[in-house]
Amino acid sequence: MTLVANPRYVGEPIPLVLDGDETCLQLRSVRMNGQELREGVDYELAPGRLLLKTPVDGAVVQTVVDLVPEENTQLSGLYKDEASAMYCTQCEAMGFRRITYYPDRPDNMATFTSVRLEADKERYPILLSNGNRLDQGTVPEDDSRHYAIWSDPFPKPSYLFAAVVGKLGSIRDSYTTVSGKKVQLEVFSEPRNVHKLSYAMESLQRSMQWDEQRFGLEYDLELYNVVAVDSFNMGAMENKGLNVFNTAYVLADEGTATDTDFERVEGVIGHEYFHNWTGNRVTCRDWFQLTLKEGLTVFRDQEFSGDMNSKPVKRIEDVRVLRARQFSEDAGPMSHPIRPESYISMDNFYTGTVYIKGAEVIRMYQTILTPEGFNKGMKLYFECHDGSAVTCDDFLAAMADANNVDLTQFALWYSTPGTPTVQYETSYADGTFTLKLSQSSRSVTPMHIPVAFGLLDKATGQEVVPTTVLELKEASQVFTFDGLEGDVVPSLLRDFSAPVKLEPVSGEVDESDLAFLAARDTDGFNRWDAGQRLYTSLIFQTLNDQISSTTQAFVDEAFRMALEQKTTDYSIQAYALTLPSESTLSEEMKIVDPVGLHEARGKVKKALARKYESEIRTTYDGLTETMQAETEFKVDAEAIGRRRLRNTLLEYLCSIRETDQEQIAAAELAMKHFQNAKGMTDKIAGLGALASMDGEGADARDEAMQTFYDDAEGDALVLNKWFMTQAVADLPDVLNRVKKLKEHPDFTLKNPNRCRSLISAFAMNSAAFHDESGEGYKFLGSTIAELDKLNPQISSRMASSLIQWRRYDEERGQLMKAELEKLNAMKLSEDLFEIVSRGLK
């Protein structure tokens, strides 16, 4: 590398710090301008760094290191993927220092102009790095070896560096950008999986076009490569011109991928592509700014997926994830603002908060400034900052300046942890509707909260005030709407306009309003949400053994209407029939009762299934018939929706299994569903229903599990589903089953996907994990300890369920805490130590 003195620095030259992880690097030599440097004299080695004592402006520094990628089980830096025998890199956040000594920080942007890769021709025919390929050929001294030289003209931080070396298959295509430049696109995987790459390729082309149309952003290199690797800590990585992907987010065909997998491939391909501008061209000054690129890029991928499929469906899905994942993070010891203020290991902060709450914050800019205003802000952001490493404040300033508004108060969203609450109080008299909104949060001063709002006439159901964005900026504010002809029903926080909890001041939700909204709100999101709130009431009443017949009637009515809806928006219909998840429900409880909640939710589900069994069955059969008549397998919104609805109905039907006869009937139905499945979505739905069957259904369950395993023929992603289905099953002895599966020859702690599909999935099986014996906690605790020696990024993530111990009753809490204490007494990785110690604080 060539050193360039910082023009802003005045004074004597000071030692230059090169970061390097000595646990995986063996330094051979350091040279400056060709001159070998001496340890102790010209440079010093210290834990985590190499100090160049007298750096010279313009000097060329060469470091030579040895490393052993085969032993790198952390999957950070340069490592070998066991399944494919390929070598690949993962540098974000701090993996580059595990490849060589370098100023490994995001604001150090450099051009990597000559990356030379050399390997055995036969075993490693593919040699890839960032940018454009300058040269390739046979090594002159050894014709069994070849080399390639890559050059990336765009300055980038080291976290965006990538190299891949292996025996890979690929598919090729191209994309001609809006200005007429032809870009070569290539997607690589293990040769046996190439037939599963076309959906990723099409998604990439759609992403490229969408970014041009929506934001005027065009691709900038001559080629774009994507490589799928099986062992990967995260979803994917946006390295400039050479994305590296977890196979789970690239490979998809109808036989092995569910609709959700297809949607995820499209979303993640989009996400990494969009990073080319939001993350790569404009990057982060330091890691505290991570949400600058992640929140923004998640927002962009959400908008993309919404445009490609259905906007309201996508919104519902995104809010479901936010509520289930981010709200609980914000209610526990890992709660942090979207721009964290401290970290021990940065890798612990690739969180739901930074990513999805971060995306909600970006969405609020758009809600406040309108899409046109938001686009103006984006344009100014790129005009001012292209090619540099900037901060969240720079983004906010671009939005404010482009729209000539003051966003000082809005900045609190970057520094305030926790989920704010918005309380409302309403009244109607003489044609005037009054709405009082108040807020409470962990910010000392009030926050700037956009509350999208509309009014519907109570008598006619007509929308009398269309969606209006109310800007709540004070602790409490009153809004009035006059000239109304009769009483109205308010629809608040439409499209989930802010990441807050919404509550009536009285504490009592008007359930007749909810029932009205569930039936008639013109805002698709709120129509769904009103139904969810009714279900929530009934589930809690069931838990407390105090069912109100009024609530019951409202729920029945909402469910029946959703069931009988004549629509082709089957996904919306499916979501309207789906009860809130246990993790979303637990957010409503001060002390979480996981087993009680599981039972109460189950009871409500079974009661609905029994009450509407014949209607559910008719709709199910109707869908089955339509689907059987179809000759072509499609992955479009309508086909996906139809499968989603039919699978939701299957779950209801299979929940009816009290008597032996019912158990037999349920098993037969699920088995038929499983055996006649045309693609993985239906197959896994059938298997999932069977997985929780016992008694008279046990044989069918075991048979289906075996068939599924045999059909998988060793396909890694399909086997992950096999493990996961068993880990989340609703069976009394699931922990023992999971323990046995951990010893299965196909199980390994070394592969993060496999690990997640069994261990993390079990921790999400709330009733089993939280069994009062504490055995679930012990199993997780000891597995985390084992895993920490291999892969700290994964072990620390797994600890996130244990650190929630304060949310549970005394006995459970103490048992969970005991596992944290056991871990704390061990020698842990920095990553895990940070989570465990926050959990015990």
| Residue 233 beta carbon to ligand B3K: minimum distance, rounded to whole angstroms | 6
Torsion of CA 654, 660, 664, 666, to 10 degrees: -10
Answer yes or no: are the C-beta atoms of 209 and 274 closer than 8 Å.
no
The answer to whether residues 288 and 347 touch, using CB atoms and an 8 Å cutoff, is no
CA-nearest of 374, 355, 377, 357 to 366 is: 374
Q: Of 300 and 320, which CB lies nearer to Zn ion in the complex structure?
A: 300
Cα–Cα distance, 182 to 204 (Å, whole number):
14
How near is the Cβ of 279 to Zn ion at its closest, in Å?
7
162 near ligand B3K, rule: CB under 6 A: no
Instruction: Identify which of residues 271 and 838 has a Cβ nearer to ligand B3K in the complex.
Output: 271
Closest contact distance (angstroms) between CB of 418 and ligand B3K is 23
CB 455 within 8 A of CB 491: yes
CB of 348 to ligand B3K, least distance (A): 9
| CB-nearer residue toward ligand B3K: 304 or 453 | 304
Window contacting ligand B3K (CB under 6 A); options: 267-275, 491-499, 504-512, 751-759? 267-275
Name the DSSP letter for residue 15: P
347 interacts with ligand B3K by CB under 6 A:
yes
Contacts of 416 (CB under 8 A, 6+ apart): 337, 441, 442, 443, 447
Closer to ligand B3K by Cβ: residue 350 or 575 = 350
788 is in the binding site of which of ligand B3K, Zn ion, none (Cβ under 5 to 8 A by kind)?
none
CA torsion angle for 325, 329, 332, 337 (degrees, to 10)? -150
211 contact, one of Zn ion, ligand B3K, none, CB 5-8 Å limit per kind:
none
Nearer to ligand B3K, 203 or 624 (CB): 203
What is the contact mask toward ligand B3K in residues 777 to 816, using x (rule: CB under 6 A)? ----------------------------------------
Residue 234 binds which of Zn ion, ligand B3K, none (CB < 5-8 A, kind-dependent): ligand B3K
**Residue 539 contact, options ligand B3K, Zn ion, none, Cβ 5-8 Å cut-off depending on partner type:** none
Site for ligand B3K in 82-101 (CB under 6 A): 92-93
Nearest alpha-carbon partner for 389 in 301, 296, 289: 289
CB of 394 to ligand B3K, least distance (A): 19
Instruction: Single out the segment in contact with ligand B3K by CB under 6 A; choices: 268-276, 356-364, 412-420, 470-478.
Output: 268-276
Contact 489, 456 (CB under 8 A): yes
Question: Alpha-carbon distance 291 to 396, whole Å?
Answer: 12
Residue recorded with tokens 């599966």: 741
Length of the chain: 841
Q: How many residues bind ligand B3K (CB under 6 A)?
A: 12
Smaller CB separation from ligand B3K, 360 or 819: 360
In angstroms, what is the minimal distance from the CB of 156 to ligand B3K?
Answer: 13
Q: Which does 237 bind (CB under 5 to 8 A by kind): ligand B3K, Zn ion, none?
A: ligand B3K
Query: Coil, strand, or helix at residue 767?
Result: helix
Site string for ligand B3K, 175-214 (x = CB under 6 A): ----------------------------------------
Total chain residues near Zn ion (CB under 5 A): 2
**Which range, of 45-53, 203-211, 296-304, 453-461, touches Zn ion by CB under 5 A?**
296-304
For residues 481, 483, 487, 492, the Cα torsion angle rounded to the nearest 10 degrees is -20
- Provide the minimum distance between the beta carbon of 244 and ligand B3K in the complex, in angstroms, as a whole number: 10
Nearer to ligand B3K among residue 93 and residue 604 (C-beta): 93
Q: How far is the CB of 217 from ligand B3K (least distance, A)?
A: 16
Torsion, CA 21, CA 23, CA 29, CA 30, rounded to 10:
20
In sequence order, the β-bridge partners of residue 126 are 166
Judged by beta carbon distances under 5 to 8 A according to partner kind, the member of ligand B3K, Zn ion, none in contact with residue 309 is none
Q: Using alpha carbons, list the distances in angstroms from residue 19 to 207, 617, 791.
A: 36, 63, 21
The CA–CA distances, whole Å, from 500 to 318, 418, 438, 494 equal: 14, 9, 12, 12
d(CA 623, CA 242): 42
Tokens of 839: 């959990």
Is there binding between residue 294 and ligand B3K (CB under 6 A)? yes
Does 272 help bind ligand B3K (rule: CB under 6 A)?
Answer: yes
Q: Least distance (Å) from ligand B3K to the CB of residue 173? A: 22
Q: Is the dihedral of CA 195, 196, 198, 200 positive or negative?
A: negative
Q: Are the beta carbons of 726 and 691 closer than 8 angstroms? A: yes
Q: Which residues contact 320 (CB under 8 A, 6 or more apart)?
A: 581, 584
Q: Which two tokens stand for residue 602?
A: 């189950």
Q: Is 21 left (phi over 0), alpha (psi -120 to 50) or beta?
A: beta
Comparing C-alpha atoms, which of 554, 555, 573 is closest to residue 563? Answer: 573
Q: How far is it, in rounded angstroms, from Cα 4 to Cα 295? A: 32
Q: Applying CB under 6 A, which part among 112-120, 269-277, 518-526, 739-747 lies near ligand B3K?
A: 269-277
Which residues on adjacent β-strands are paired with residue 26?
66
Q: How far is the CB of 347 from ligand B3K (least distance, A)?
A: 4
Q: Which of residues 275-294 bind Zn ion (CB under 5 A)?
A: 294
Q: Tokens representing 250? A: 């690239």
Minimum CB distance to ligand B3K smaller for 103 or for 279: 279
Q: How far is the CB of 180 from Zn ion (least distance, A)?
A: 29
Q: Which is nearer to ligand B3K, 348 or 571 (CB)?
A: 348
Whole-number Å distance between alpha carbons of 396 and 408: 9
Question: For 278, which DSSP code?
Answer: B
Between residues 279 and 839, which has the closer beta carbon with respect to ligand B3K? 279
Closer residue to ligand B3K (CB): 292 or 654: 292
350 binds, among Zn ion, ligand B3K, none (CB under 5 to 8 A by kind): ligand B3K
Closer by beta carbon to ligand B3K, 275 or else 807: 275
Is 686 in contact with 651 (CB distance < 8 Å)?
A: no
Q: Which range touches ligand B3K (CB under 6 A), out of 7-15, 172-180, 229-237, 443-451?
A: 229-237
Q: In angstroms, what is the minimal distance from the CB of 28 to ligand B3K?
A: 28
Build a one-symbol-per-residue string for 234-263: x at contacts with ligand B3K by CB under 6 A, - elsewhere: x-xxx-------------------------
Q: Which stretch binds ligand B3K (CB under 6 A): 230-238, 444-452, 495-503, 708-716?
A: 230-238
Local structure of residue 235 (DSSP, 8 states) = S
Compare residues 21 and 92 and give the one whose CB is closer to ligand B3K.
92
* Contact region with ligand B3K (CB under 6 A), list: 7-15, 233-241, 768-776, 803-811: 233-241
**Gap between the Cα atoms of 799 and 168, Å rounded:** 35
User: Which of Zn ion, ligand B3K, none interacts with 245 (beta carbon under 5 to 8 A by kind)?
Assistant: none
Can 587 be counted among the known catalytic residues? no
CA distances from 266 to 197, 263, 303, 704 (A): 12, 5, 12, 30
Q: What is the spatial distance between Cα 674 and Cα 686, in angstroms, rounded to a whole number?
A: 4
Largest CA distance in the chain: 93
CA 676 – CA 682 distance, rounded (Å): 8
Least distance from C-beta 174 to ligand B3K, angstroms? 24
From the list 272, 303, 360, 511, the catalytic residue is 272
What's the CA gap between 474 and 481, in Å, rounded? 19
Among all residues, whose Cβ is closest to ligand B3K? 92
For ligand B3K, the binding residues (CB under 6 A) are: 92-93, 234, 236-238, 271-272, 275, 294, 347, 350
Residues with catalytic roles: 272
For Zn ion, the binding residues (CB under 5 A) are: 294, 297
